[in-house]
Amino acid sequence: MKKQEELFHEIAELMKATKERKIHWNLEVQTTEGNDPSEKPVESEDGVTWTVDECYVSYYCQYKGKEFCMITYEMIKTAGEKVSTSNMVFLPPLGVRLFDLRTLLPHSVEVSYVLLDQIHKLWVMLFDMYKEDRGNVHVEIRTEVLKIED
């Protein structure tokens, strides 16, 4: 399994090649953020009631004859103006593309704020490219209903 530093540097190299238009990306997003608030689960913690959303993003590309696949997961809890997030990063084998935490958990990577920031920069760069010229970035966005299991 790759270490944080290795993944950080690999993403930096992929970003550089992407800016040079050497890579075509496929992004798949599954999120609950656009759903009606009445459909979203709530959790109570220390007297605060949180509305819970989640967002998965699958990043896939081929570079230098190798396939790169990374899936990120973010749980977003909101209570009025308060926002709390939890993030996970997975490097699954190419055959595992399910947006399911139980399936992805064995492929998780330890993350730091530095690595999460690098992944966020990749996201912003790819989405900006998608908005400008959809030739190198394909994005598919799906909504999903979140069901929290006990």
Instruction: For residue 59, tell me if it sits in a domain.
Output: yes
Instruction: For residue 41, tell me if it sits in a domain.
Output: yes
Instruction: For residue 31, tell me if it sits in a domain.
Output: yes
pLDDT tens-digit profile of 116-139? Answer: 999 999 999 999 998 887 677 888
Domains identified in the chain, total number: 1
Instruction: For residue 95, tell me if it sits in a domain.
Output: yes
Residue 52's φ and ψ, nearest 5 degrees, are -110, 130
Instruction: For residue 147, tell me if it sits in a domain.
Output: no
Instruction: For residue 73, tell me if it sits in a domain.
Output: yes
Instruction: For residue 150, tell me if it sits in a domain.
Output: no
Q: pTM score > 0.75 for this model?
A: yes
Question: From CA 30, how far away is CA 57, in angstroms rounded?
Answer: 7
Mean pLDDT along residues 7-30: 94
Instruction: For residue 148, tell me if it sits in a domain.
Output: no
The mean of the pLDDT values for the chain is: 89
Q: Per-residue confidence at 96, pLDDT binned at 50, 70, 90?
A: confident
Residue 140's φ and ψ, nearest 5 degrees, are -125, 125
Q: Per-residue confidence at 147, pLDDT binned at 50, 70, 90?
A: low
Mean pLDDT along residues 35-56: 91
Burial of 130 by CB count in 10 Å (0-12 exposed, 13-18 middle, 19+ buried)?
middle
Domain around 41: 4-18+25-142
